[in-house]
Each structure stands twice: as structure tokens, then as C-alpha cells.
């Protein structure tokens, strides 16, 4: 499954989760339920993945953790806050750069609607083109 298909599946799972449960739960609850919904769709999902940072010879083994990593390609960062912050997409972009991943989804389940709370963050991502024959 390509990255765009993974993203569509993740957005669909997030939409259904928000529609059925609404806002107001802890981020950890949404994380568990999103991971399970994605696994039910046949995807590989890792939670709370520890990511090291290497900078000028210094290595910090547990520099940060990402909420969900789907098929080792798609990063999903979850929030459950009423207020959006300009920091959230910047944080996700930094994670994508450090992990050399092309695409991430920010899902804030604290918003009134899922559409208000979902955002794509792209790290130099281009959908692969198919060779012409």
C-alpha cells in the first residue's frame, strides 16, 4: 500500500473514531483506539516509537517518541486539545525530517469536528510516478 493510501485509510479511521466517540477523551485513549482501527485494516502499527537524534557527533537515544508509525512510512501525531497550536505541525515536520519520512498526519481529537482537527504535514513528499510503457 502506498503512502497516500495509508493516509486515506488513517483519515477514515480517525473520522469514524471522532464521529462515534467525539472529543473529550485523553490522547492515550485515542492512540490505543486508532492503533487498533488501523490494525483491523491490516496495517502494521507501532505506538510510542522512540526516536534518537544525532547531531554533530552527539546521540540522544530517547530524544522523542512518536505516537503512531504506520507501516514504517506514515507518522501520525495525536492531540486532544480544544486549542490548536502553530507548534504542532512544526513539531511533526521536525519529526518527519529527523526520521526521513515523507508524510505525517496531525490528528487533534479535541476539536468539535474531525475536519477541524486533521492536518497533513509534508516533508518533500512527491507521490511516485508510474513509468510509461
| Range 111-118 average pLDDT | 94
Grid cell locating 66: 512518536
- Residue 125 in this model has a pLDDT that exceeds 70: no
The rounded distance, in Å, linking the Cα atoms of 131 and 52 is 36
pLDDT given for residue 58 in this prediction: 95
Predicted pLDDT at 1: 84
**Predicted confidence (pLDDT) at residue 126 exceeds the cutoff of 60:** no
**2-29: b or e for each residue (b if 16 or more CB lie within 10 Å)?**
ebeebbebbbebbeebbeeeebeeebee
Q: Which residues pair with 76 in a beta bridge?
A: 68, 105
Q: Domains for the chain: give ranges and CATH numbers.
A: 3-122 (3.40.1350)
Q: Which pLDDT value is given to residue 132?
A: 54
pTM of the model: 0.88
Amino acid at each position: 500500500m502506498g503512502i497516500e493510501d495509508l493516509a486515506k485509510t488513517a483519515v477514515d479511521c480517525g473520522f469514524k473514531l471522532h464521529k462515534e466517540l467525539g472529543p473529550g477523551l485523553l490522547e492515550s485513549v485515542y492512540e490505543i483506539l486508532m492503533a487498533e482501527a488501523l490494525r483491523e485494516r491490516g496495517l502494521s502499527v507501532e505506538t510510542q516509537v522512540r526516536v534518537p537524534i544525532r547531531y554533530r557527533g552527539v546521540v540522544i537515544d530517547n530524544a522523542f517518541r512518536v505516537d503512531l508509525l504506520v507501516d514504517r512510512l506514515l507518522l501520525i501525531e495525536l492531540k486532544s486539545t480544544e486549542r490548536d497550536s502553530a507548534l504542532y505541525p512544526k513539531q511533526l515536520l521536525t519529526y518527519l525530517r529527523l526520521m526521513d519520512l515523507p508524510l505525517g498526519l496531525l490528528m487533534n481529537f479535541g476539536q468539535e469536528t474531525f475536519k477541524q482537527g486533521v492536518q497533513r504535514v509534508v516533508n518533500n513528499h512527491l507521490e511516485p510516478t508510474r513509468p510509461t510503457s
